[in-house]
Amino acid sequence: MKKLLIALLVLATAAFVFAKGDSQSGSGGVTRGMNRKIVMGYSQIGAESEWRTACTNSVKAAAEEYNVELIFSDAQQRQENQMQAIRSFIRQKVDIIGFTPVVETGWDAILQEIKDAGIPVICVDRQVTLAAGKRQEDYITAFIGSNMQAEATKAAQWIVNYMKTTGNTRKKDDGRTDINVAILEGTTGSGAQVGRTEGWNAEIAKYANYKTIFRQTGNFTRAEGQQVMEAWMKSPQANDIDVLLAQNDDMAIGAIDAINAAGKKPGTDIIIVSIDAVKGAFDAMLRKELNATIECNPLLGPQVMDTAVKILNKQPITWWVESEESQFDWTNAEAAYPTRQY
């Protein structure tokens, strides 16, 4: 009986020690840089592109690394689903909210609710536009993401330079002949579409011979990029397209299929530039079907978690630290390929 008791005691002590050790490193324990474990409610917009998947994976991996309890919700591109998720985060009294607004407008009321609940909020990747007179800095604690305008400016500059120096199989830019552009835009009203359109328009306005002959949304997906391009390739103006600008890589990759199917050579008959720099774009550049891609960094998870910890520790933060990004084309894609993480 005594021996049995001793054995049980030993077992219980071992179990206690094991559980304690486990709780420090595993599911319990504290968040890195804090004296407690924090809970983050996170509303992602969906899984429309390679970029988005990389962003989601980065947020989830960083939450594990920082030991943050992540309540992750996928809105499937619908603003009302995001509202529902955010209201449930408020009811659950999460420590902090992270979210990517699918479109820029319509967030005034819910941001007020978050503010009233005293919950800090990090806006990731896409910004919001509030009613006139309201500043997003008064409702959003920090923004983490890219400068969409700057990316589109770089895309425009790349195209102008390439059309002047190399051109397509039909023409080189002499400054007088029309350069006809087709533009595949992202989700209408999203920060990425609005910013990239503004950046492109402002830069290309400097060149009077650039003409936009097609412009339509492909909703940032491969399938819709392909469909829209298919329709353009069947139109009477199909042979006039010199340049395709796609506001993300997935749409460009879809469009490349449509151009091939129409019997034209993507990358030489039509010069194609897109934005993101995902692996699929590198594959297309190595096949010489995509000419260039401007990087947009989706690996935002570590910065999100680090900023969350600082906010909850009441340490100073910078409202927006812009992501540093490069650009890739046939001159550097092959060398960069093995180092790409997404």
- Nearer residue to ligand GYE within complex by CB, 67 or 193: 193
CB atoms closer than 10 angstroms to residue 6: 10
For ligand GYE, which stretch binds (CB under 6 A), given 24-32, 45-53, 159-167, 168-176? Answer: 45-53
Site for ligand GYE in 196-225 (CB under 6 A): 220
**Residue in 68, 156, 159, 192 binding ligand GYE, rule: CB under 6 A:** 192
Q: In what order do the strands lie in the sheet with 142-144?
A: 69-74, 39-44, 96-99, 121-124, 142-144
Q: What is the dihedral of CA 329, 333, 339, 340, to 10 degrees?
A: 50
- Nearer residue to ligand GYE within complex by CB, 49 or 168: 49
**Which tokens sit at 150?**
């700057």
For ligand GYE, which stretch binds (CB under 6 A), given 27-35, 43-51, 166-174, 177-185? Answer: 43-51
Please report whether residue 126 would count as binding ligand GYE according to CB under 6 A: yes
Please report whether residue 168 would count as binding ligand GYE according to CB under 6 A: no
Which contiguous run of DSSP H or E holds residue 179? strand 179-185
**Residue in 203, 224, 276, 289 binding ligand GYE, rule: CB under 6 A:** 276
Place of tokens 């096949």: 287
Site for ligand GYE in 287-326 (CB under 6 A): 296
Task: Say if residues 237 and 262 touch (Cβ distance below 8 Å).
Answer: no
Question: Could you tell me which residues are beta bridge partners of residue 295?
Answer: 276
Q: How far apart are CA 15 and CA 17, in angstroms?
A: 6
**Residue in 43, 153, 180, 248 binding ligand GYE, rule: CB under 6 A:** 248
- Minimum CB separation from ligand GYE for residue 191, in Å? 7
Q: Provide the binding-site residues for ligand GYE, judged by CB under 6 A.
A: 48-49, 51-52, 125-126, 192, 220, 248, 250, 275-276, 296
